[in-house]
């Protein structure tokens, strides 16, 4: 069994789940020079979309059409993907999980907006909890909420949390989130992409190290770690 995680910048990650390729919230083309990987070269069997904002769905349609990947997101975003010419989708919604071939994937709540780039209704923002060989929580864009303690009951191996502040949790709230979630490893995201969300991730990681039981990993762009 082998899971790995690759960081492409902002909130864009690839997961390799025993050979099944997942890309989460693809935002590559519009994120130059932070993102160095091209949307034309990423591999995907599945595309997971946490919410409808442009910095999360920007490259979803082109990647879906090129790779034939199945898009998993909330009902409204999946409808938007369908009406833009891609049929391979699986709609879910907050609190709902499904046993996919790669593992059981549940959509979790997030406190955030979700309007799509063309103004379409993107439903409610969410996150993902994968229960597979390892348990992975991807918070998506969200404020801190104390129900993260309920998600933390799932024995989280890896949590991916926004720390950028301004649009999502900042460093202080993300530290509280780590205390609710109690992951073995935590990876920060959604920072240093554009002006409002500049943060010192290494300083945050030091605090995680000192103040929680989680192991922080600040990933470089295109770095891959074993999960
Ligand atoms: Ni957002
Ligand atoms: Mn965002």
Domain assignment present for 206: yes
Nearest ligand to the CA of 112 is 1
pLDDT (average), residues 111-138: 98
Does residue 52 lie in a domain region? Answer: yes
CATH at 20: 3.60.15.10
Question: How many Cα atoms sit within 13 Å of 41 on the Cβ side?
Answer: 6
Q: Quick check: is 37 in a domain?
A: yes
| pLDDT, tens digit (0-9, with 9 covering 90-100), for 165-185 | 999 999 999 999 999 999 999
Is pLDDT at 77 greater than 90 in this prediction? Answer: yes
- Considering its fold, how many domains does the chain have in total? 1
Nearest ligand to residue 27 Cα: 2
Q: Is 117 among the domain residues?
A: yes
61 pLDDT above the threshold of 90: yes
Please write the tens of the pLDDT for every residue from 35-52.
999 999 999 999 999 999
Domain assignment present for 123: yes
Spatial distance between the Cα atoms of 12 and 28, rounded to a whole number of angstroms:
8
Gap between the Cα atoms of 163 and 109, Å rounded: 17
Find the ligand nearest to 113 CA: 1
Q: CB-based burial of residue 213 (10 Å sphere; 0-12 exposed, 13-18 middle, 19+ buried)? A: exposed
225 falls within a domain? no
Binned at pLDDT 50, 70 and 90, residue 32 comes out as confident
Does any domain span residue 58?
Answer: yes
| pLDDT band at 1; cut points 50, 70, 90 | confident
CA of 131 to the centre of ligand 1 (A): 24
Residue that wins the pLDDT comparison between 34 and 139: 139
Distance 144 CA to ligand 1 centre (A): 14
How far is ligand 2, taken at its centre, from the CA of residue 1, in Å?
Answer: 31
Classify residue 23: in a domain, yes or no.
yes
- Domain span at residue 118? 3-219
């Amino acid at each position: 069994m082998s899971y790995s995680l690759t960081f492409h910048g902002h909130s864009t990650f690839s997961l390799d789940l025993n050979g099944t390729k997942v890309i989460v919230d693809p935002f590559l083309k519009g994120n130059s020079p932070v993102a160095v990987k091209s949307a034309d070269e990423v591999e995907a069997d599945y595309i997971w979309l946490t919410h409808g904002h442009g910095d999360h769905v920007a490259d979803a349609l082109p990647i879906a059409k090129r790779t034939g990947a199945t898009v998993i997101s909330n009902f409204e975003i999946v409808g938007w993907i369908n009406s833009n010419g891609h049929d391979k989708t699986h709609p879910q919604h907050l609190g709902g999980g499904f046993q996919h071939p790669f593992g059981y994937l549940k959509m979790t709540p997030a406190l955030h907006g979700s309007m799509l780039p063309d103004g379409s209704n993107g439903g409610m923002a969410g996150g993902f909890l994968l229960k597979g060989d390892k348990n992975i929580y991807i918070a998506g864009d969200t404020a801190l909420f104390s129900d993260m303690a309920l998600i933390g009951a799932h024995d989280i191996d890896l949590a991916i949390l926004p720390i950028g502040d301004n649009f999502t949790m900042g460093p202080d709230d993300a530290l509280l989130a780590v205390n609710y979630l109690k992951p073995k490893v935590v990876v920060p995201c959604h920072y240093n992409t554009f002006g409002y969300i500049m943060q010192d991730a290494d300083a945050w990681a030091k605090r995680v190290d000192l103040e929680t039981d989680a192991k922080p990993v600040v990933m470089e762009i295109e770095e891959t770690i074993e999960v």
